Amino acid sequence: MSTFGAGNSNKSTDQNPNKSFEVTQPPTDSVSSLSFSPKANFLVATSWDNQVRCWEIVRNGINLGSTPKASISHDQPVLCSTWKDDGTTVFSGGCDKQAKMWPLASGGQPMTVAMHDAPIKEIAWIPEMSLLVTGSFDKTVKYWDTRQSNPVHSQQLPDRCYALAVSHPLMVVGTADRNMVVFNLQNPQTEYKRIISPLKFQTRCVAAFPDKQGFLVGSIEGRVGVHHLDDAQQSKNFTFKCHRDTSTNEIYSVNSLNFHPVHHTFATAGSDGAFNFWDKDSKQRLKAMNRCSQPIPCSTFNNDGSIFAYSSCYDWSKGAENHNPATAKTYIFLHLPQEAEVKAKPKAPTGRK
């Protein structure tokens, strides 16, 4: 265990240095999002190959197996995905500027349920409102009743939507130009608060605290901000460095932030090919995993936190000149977190009476 701000060990040439379980028949291009069903171990991945795929993940003791179940197509690369809370339906959005509703459980055909004027970067289902929310490069967030063709509400953003997280009634939207726009979904037509990101570089990902008191934000500059919404809690705010190679001074993007659904610790994944588990309350890194030979663009926990899924593939963070089609294979891996990796350590006594 180490304190915040530590880097990961030197880069490996191993595609799977953590001996994770490999998902069969992965996408043919880079993965843009991963989403587990809230009800069962069905994993959905969206990809730059225009596909949305679903696998059933089966655990057998200490082993995990994966079976491809179904897939649908968009007209252009798919960027985001989410599930309905009852586990019956998948929503996906992307560069074709539309969101599709896929009734996976019933075997039904996908239908378009949302439209924007530019690619849809983020998507979330809000069970408490029975609404779908989409965030786009057209500088809007829109709320959709999937039975209607027009949005229930369209909210203007200060700039392009880059990241979005919901933990009702809290919704946090990260946009271009480092804006963080906070909404209280009990009054979604009004911004609750707008702040400039505590990080000095472009926002890549956000995650809402499970207790809804604040959010995490990750940037392209290997740094995470921990931010509380209550003005009285501002002294608890801090930022820390991660996803950096201390031997070469290379700095990588933080691409994904995921809270553990039970222990409320969190995972980060980055373009350095590493994923780490952290406890924000004790400001400690619980576990640093070995670096894969390719970036990790996205990751997620399953509904009880017993499986951590992550993709390893080229994310174009170093441009076309670093893309080698001969070696650029896409992987989706499944890691079984040990309790010590994801459960907060008990606080050590201070020795004071």
pLDDT, tens digit (0-9, with 9 covering 90-100), for 215-227: 999 999 999 999 9
What are the tokens at 255?
Answer: 């691409």
Calpha distance 162→121 (Å, rounded): 6
Phi and psi torsions of 44, nearest 5°:
-110, 140
Q: How confident is the model at residue 7 (pLDDT cuts 50, 70, 90)?
A: low
Whole-number pLDDT of residue 1: 46
Question: Residues 154-168: what's their mean pLDDT?
Answer: 98
Calpha distance 298→102 (Å, rounded): 21
Please answer whether residues 176 and 162 qualify as being in contact, where contact means their C-beta atoms are separated by less than 8 angstroms.
Answer: yes
- What percent of the chain is predicted at pLDDT more than 70? 95
Whole-number pLDDT of residue 13: 73
For the chain, the average pLDDT equals 94
For residue 320, is pLDDT > 90?
A: no
Question: Residues 157-168: what's their mean pLDDT?
Answer: 98
Q: Which residue has the higher pLDDT, 264 or 326?
A: 264
For residue 17, is pLDDT > 80?
A: yes
For residue 323, is pLDDT > 60?
A: yes
Calpha distance 69→67 (Å, rounded): 6
Amino acid at 30: S
Calpha distance 231→76 (Å, rounded): 43
Whole-number pLDDT of residue 11: 58
For residue 168, is pLDDT > 50?
A: yes
Least confident residue range of 132-141, 205-214, 343-352: 343-352
For residue 104, is pLDDT > 90?
A: yes
Query: What size, in residues, is the chain?
Result: 353
Question: Residues 235-242: what's their mean pLDDT?
Answer: 97
Whole-number pLDDT of residue 324: 79
Residue 189: C-alpha distances to residues 131, 182, 192 (Å): 14, 11, 9
Output the pTM of the full model. Answer: 0.95
pLDDT, tens digit (0-9, with 9 covering 90-100), for 54-65: 999 999 989 999
Q: How confident is the model at residue 14 (pLDDT cuts 50, 70, 90)?
A: confident
Q: How confident is the model at residue 349 (pLDDT cuts 50, 70, 90)?
A: low
